[in-house]
């Protein structure tokens, strides 16, 4: 019979909470149920009650989910302490086994409010009916019993010491079963502590969340087609996956030292052996000759703000005379020729996103996942924007928002799954024109770079009626 567990969440990246829970539950084969009431599964609240088959499942989730601070065996909650005590008495079979000879510690706390010690003592004394006979041990107890008071957000309000004390939204009570050890990885993979990084390196917490969305684990083979300085490789490698990376600009992966920068950083994290290889090529002119190679593809595509996206090709096509000269030169090379550097042209973001999905459909195994960030304009965004890049055999299973507020932009962490076992030919990466003008939907992420440098304002030549 399922039991209820209380998860205490970090109040960051709230939109990523449920997709991460779903992904890690799928990875470990864990079945779970969320509260039926939408208010009780609101990702902006710090607590959530989840039904699980086993206590070990709660421990597994707390050890892997980056956003879980701790997992508790749920005893009760209420809008007042009277309601809490009523529910807790009904949960007596859960806690009576600890009454006789178990050392314990009792805490009363809140994540957004400082509770006076005098009231903490009053709250603890009100639980005297539980009749614990064991020793009180504040340092190393057998069990930790905790009351959490949940207070409303008070952004911008002037606070006085202990102001609003007791005016909580809900109070929760339970026994600690597992601290969220995965959150410690945020400090371990901190970009500032990394031996090699660049100005486009992804922040540690986001890269860890992306790794969880890929279901990274031992035996998985994961590909990053826009490797850069390797931010996606380190957390996926830490979780046991093997990683292959490529980039159109090999300098980003190599750095300036003899040992490639990505390998130096991977060595720092003890995962150098999990970096299968690094290669320099344009994904639209890739060397892959067979599909269904990878379990997941995870990447942070360049979108043109710090480093513009590029693909092979010329901004302007050569004239017939120039092509003839190039052909003659290639047939009779000069002895002082320098290594050939192929020309590149800008890669518009909406085209890049569409091509990335096509590439993923070709390279992913059935059921494999594509995980990537897609920046867009907040005021112009529509849910249909994500679906404009989809192709047959691919479906969106998560779309989590990271809002940059006053910057006027947002970024979606998109997770797309391959839902077909049909084999596809390598994509040509040629744009397909819509059949009629009515079929055209311009997504908000189109021409994102230009919109960014305009401050997300209309172009100067646009007029308002």
Q: How confident is the model at residue 310 (pLDDT cuts 50, 70, 90)?
A: low
- pLDDT for 324 equals 67
Mean pLDDT of the chain: 85
Q: How confident is the model at residue 113 (pLDDT cuts 50, 70, 90)?
A: confident
Cα dihedral sign, 370-372-375-378: positive
Q: How confident is the model at residue 465 (pLDDT cuts 50, 70, 90)?
A: very low
d(CA 256, CA 268): 17
Q: pLDDT by residue (tens digit) across 120-147?
A: 999 999 999 999 999 999 999 999 999 9
Q: What is the mean pLDDT of residues 213-237?
A: 97
CATH architecture of residue range(s) 3-153+164-180: 2-Layer Sandwich (3.30)
Q: What are phi and psi of 8, to 5 degrees?
A: -100, 120
- pLDDT for 462 equals 46
- Decide yes or no: CATH 1.20.1090.10 for domain 189-448: no
d(CA 141, CA 75): 19
- pLDDT for 152 equals 86
- Judge contact between 313 and 241, C-beta under 8 A: no
Q: CA angle at residue 335 from 331 to 339, to 5 degrees?
A: 80
Does residue 408 surpass a pLDDT of 90?
no
- Judge contact between 255 and 194, C-beta under 8 A: no
Q: pLDDT by residue (tens digit) across 34-65?
A: 998 889 999 999 999 999 999 999 999 999 99
Does residue 448 surpass a pLDDT of 60?
no
Q: Distance of CA 371 to CAs 102, 216, 220, Å?
A: 46, 11, 15
Q: What is the mean pLDDT of residues 344-370?
A: 90
Q: How confident is the model at residue 79 (pLDDT cuts 50, 70, 90)?
A: very high
- pLDDT for 331 equals 55
Chain-centroid distance of CA 334 in Å reads 51
Q: How confident is the model at residue 389 (pLDDT cuts 50, 70, 90)?
A: confident
- pLDDT for 463 equals 43
Does residue 464 surpass a pLDDT of 50?
no
- Judge contact between 150 and 170, C-beta under 8 A: yes
Does residue 283 surpass a pLDDT of 50?
yes
Among 115-129, 163-177, 183-197, 321-335, the minimum mean pLDDT is found in 321-335
- pLDDT for 367 equals 97
Q: What is the mean pLDDT of residues 75-98?
A: 96
Does residue 334 surpass a pLDDT of 70?
no
- Judge contact between 178 and 63, C-beta under 8 A: yes
* Domain definitions of the chain by residue range: 3-153+164-180, 189-448
């Amino acid at each position: 019979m399922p039991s209820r567990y209380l998860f205490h969440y970090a109040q960051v990246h709230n939109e990523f909470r449920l997709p991460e829970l779903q992904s890690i539950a799928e990875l470990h084969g864990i079945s779970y149920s969320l509260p039926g009431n939408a208010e009780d599964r609101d990702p902006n609240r710090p607590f959530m009650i989840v039904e699980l088959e086993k206590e070990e499942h709660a421990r597994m989730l707390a050890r892997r989910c980056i956003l879980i601070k701790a997992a508790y065996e749920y005893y009760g909650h209420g809008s007042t302490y009277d309601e809490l005590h009523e529910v807790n008495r009904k949960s007596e079979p859960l806690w009576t086994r600890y009454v006789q000879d178990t050392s314990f510690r009792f805490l009363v706390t809140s994540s957004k409010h400082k509770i006076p010690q005098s009231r903490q003592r009053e709250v603890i004394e009100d639980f005297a009916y539980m009749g614990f006979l064991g020793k009180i041990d504040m340092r190393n107890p057998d069990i930790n019993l905790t009351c959490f008071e949940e207070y409303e957000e008070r952004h911008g309000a002037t606070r006085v010491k202990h102001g609003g004390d007791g005016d909580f939204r809900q109070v929760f009570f339970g026994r600690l079963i597992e601290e969220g050890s995965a959150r410690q990885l945020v400090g371990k993979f901190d970009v500032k502590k990394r031996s090699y990084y660049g100005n486009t390196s992804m922040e540690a917490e986001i890269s860890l969340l992306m790794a969880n969305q890929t279901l990274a684990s031992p035996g998985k083979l994961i590909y990053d087609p826009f490797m850069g300085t390797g931010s996606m490789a380190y957390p996926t490698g830490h979780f046991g996956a093997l990683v292959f990376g490529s980039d159109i600009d090999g300098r980003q992966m190599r750095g300036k030292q003899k040992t490639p920068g990505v390998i130096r950083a991977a060595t720092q994290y003890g995962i150098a052996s999990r970096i299968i290889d690094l290669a320099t090529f344009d994904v639209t002119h890739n060397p892959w000759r067979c599909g269904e190679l990878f379990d997941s593809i995870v990447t942070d595509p360049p979108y043109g703000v710090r480093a513009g996206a590029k693909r092979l090709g010329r901004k302007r096509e050569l004239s017939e005379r120039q092509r003839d000269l190039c052909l003659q030169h290639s047939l009779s090379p000069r002895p002082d020729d320098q290594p050939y550097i192929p020309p590149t042209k800008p890669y518009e973001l909406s085209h890049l996103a569409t091509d990335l999905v096509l590439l993923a459909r070709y390279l992913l195994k059935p059921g494999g996942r594509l995980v990537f960030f897609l920046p867009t304009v907040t005021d112009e965004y529509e849910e249909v924007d994500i679906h404009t890049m989809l192709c047959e055999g691919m479906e969106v299973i998560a779309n989590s928002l990271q809002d940059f507020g006053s910057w006027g932009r947002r970024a979606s962490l998109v997770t797309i799954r391959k839902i077909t076992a049909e084999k596809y030919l390598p994509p040509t990466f040629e744009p397909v024109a819509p059949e009629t003008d009515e079929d055209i939907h311009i997504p908000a992420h189109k021409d994102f770079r230009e919109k960014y440098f305009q401050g997300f304002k209309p172009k100067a030549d646009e007029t308002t009626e």
